[in-house]
């Protein structure tokens, strides 16, 4: 079977993105498992390679992943000009070249030249300077691939935390949340756990919005008016979702270990406990899309850029998760397409039996006998 082709965006050239990419790809086991395709520039790659002191790092320059080499790292050169790299600085160049890398990779992902994409971190202010109109990668890919809804899903081994709301001010969370949003996020999570993680009957926990789950309405009504109705809605669809649970006790008592997925109501409610338990090995996965996109759970690391101390563990985990999801999707679709073909065959056989039942004489024979 042909190896899975994994695209990689370089992120902010002034941050640690290329450092963790290089430290990951220098391991020969990566090219044994997949075919990496980095979208950026060999000149920028060489600059960061000198910082990381990886003189032996080998790669092949290509113009497109349509034609790549499967036994090495491939570099798609998205620009030819020299880049003024200023490590640790947040500036327009950092956003501009990250954007060029992102657009090139997204195009080739859409074209089917690569099977999955791992994105290195971008800096929101630098991206805005470059004209990027989205709060982050999640929103960009959701619109790019025309998904009605997506789910920011933080993953590490058995801990999987999704967010009902993403990058919005805390003051707006209660006004944005509603039964429909929570129901849709739960449906995406349930389908993702089945299709992308290979879990047959996933069990999902839903966190409360208010402290103590509203304490019977004394400190908030959202649990009664929004979350519980959403749970009843998805229950009718056969989804195993439970709650709402007060977040502090849920994580403090390690109740999270009893569930396959957890839906948090807002960004920090989910990411604070997730990163406390998983920092350095967690992965950000955009669920609910027709494509596969993962990223490390850390940011651009401008404060440590150029010091050769960035830990590549999370980026490496992002590649492994992308590979796992790609395999799980193939297995899921193969299994269900086979089931569909089998069901069609059974129906065809039943239809044939109904048309000509061997236990009943053919009508034309009966007429011949009567005549």
SS3 57: coil
Q: Distance between CA atoms of 262 and 339, rounded to whole angstroms? A: 30
* Same fold? 1-147+289-337, 148-284: yes
| CATH superfamily of the 148-284 domain | Isopropylmalate Dehydrogenase (3.40.718.10)
Compute the Cα dihedral for 272, 250, 281, 35 and give only its sign: negative
Q: What is the pLDDT of residue 192?
A: 97
Q: What is the pLDDT of residue 97?
A: 98
How do 283-287 and 293-296 pair as beta strands? antiparallel
Q: What is the pLDDT of residue 343?
A: 53
Judge: domain 1-147+289-337, CATH 3.40.718.10: yes
pLDDT digits (tens, 9 = 90+) for 273-323: 999 998 778 999 999 999 999 999 999 999 999 999 999 999 999 999 999
Q: What is the pLDDT of residue 142?
A: 95
CB–CB of 182/234 below 8 Å?
no
Q: What is the pLDDT of residue 56?
A: 79
Q: What is the pLDDT of residue 1?
A: 56
pTM for this prediction: 0.87
Q: For residue 92, which of 17, 10, 9, 12 has the smallest C-alpha distance?
A: 12
Please list the ranges in the chain whose pLDDT falls under 70: 1, 338-371
Average pLDDT, the chain: 90
SS3 188: helix
* Domain range summary for the chain, segments of one domain joined by +: 1-147+289-337, 148-284
Q: What is the pLDDT of residue 57?
A: 86
């Amino acid at each position: 079977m042909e190896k899975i082709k994994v695209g990689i965006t370089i992120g902010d050239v002034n941050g640690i993105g290329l450092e963790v990419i290089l430290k990951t790809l220098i391991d020969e086991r990566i090219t044994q498992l997949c075919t990496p395709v980095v979208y950026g520039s060999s000149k920028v790659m060489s600059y960061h390679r000198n910082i990381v002191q990886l003189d032996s790092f080998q790669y092949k320059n290509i113009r497109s992943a349509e034609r790549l080499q499967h036994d090495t790292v491939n570099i798609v050169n998205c620009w030819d000009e020299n880049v003024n790299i200023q490590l640790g600085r947040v500036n327009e160049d950092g956003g501009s070249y990250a954007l060029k890398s992102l657009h090139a990779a997204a195009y080739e992902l859409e074209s089917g030249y690569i099977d999955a994409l791992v994105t290195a971190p971008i800096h929101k202010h630098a991206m805005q300077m470059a004209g990027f109109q989205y709060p982050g990668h999640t929103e960009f890919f959701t619109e790019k691939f025309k998904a009605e809804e997506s789910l920011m899903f933080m993953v590490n081994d058995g801990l999987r935390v999704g967010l009902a709301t993403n990058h919005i001010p805390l003051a707006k969370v209660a006004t944005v949340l509603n039964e429909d949003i929570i129901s849709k996020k739960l449906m995406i999570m349930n389908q993702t756990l089945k299709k992308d993680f290979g879990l047959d009957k996933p069990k999902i926990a839903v966190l409360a919005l208010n402290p103590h789950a509203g304490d019977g309405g004394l400190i908030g009504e959202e649990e009664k008016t929004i979350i519980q109705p959403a749970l009843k809605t998805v229950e009718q669809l056969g989804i195993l979702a439970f709650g709402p649970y007060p977040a502090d006790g849920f994580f403090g008592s390690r109740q999270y270990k009893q569930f396959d997925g957890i839906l948090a109501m807002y960004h920090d409610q989910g990411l604070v406990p997730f990163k406390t338990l998983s920092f350095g090995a967690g992965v950000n996965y955009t669920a609910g899309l027709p494509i596969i996109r993962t990223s490390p759970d850390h940011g651009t690391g401008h404060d440590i850029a150029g010091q050769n101390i960035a830990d590549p563990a999370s980026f490496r985990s992002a590649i492994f998760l992308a590979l796992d999801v790609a395999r799980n999707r193939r297995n899921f679709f193969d299994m269900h397409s086979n089931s569909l073909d089998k069901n069609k065959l059974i129906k065809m056989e039943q239809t044939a039996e109904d048309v000509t039942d061997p236990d009943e004489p053919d009508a034309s024979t009966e007429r011949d006998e009567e005549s």
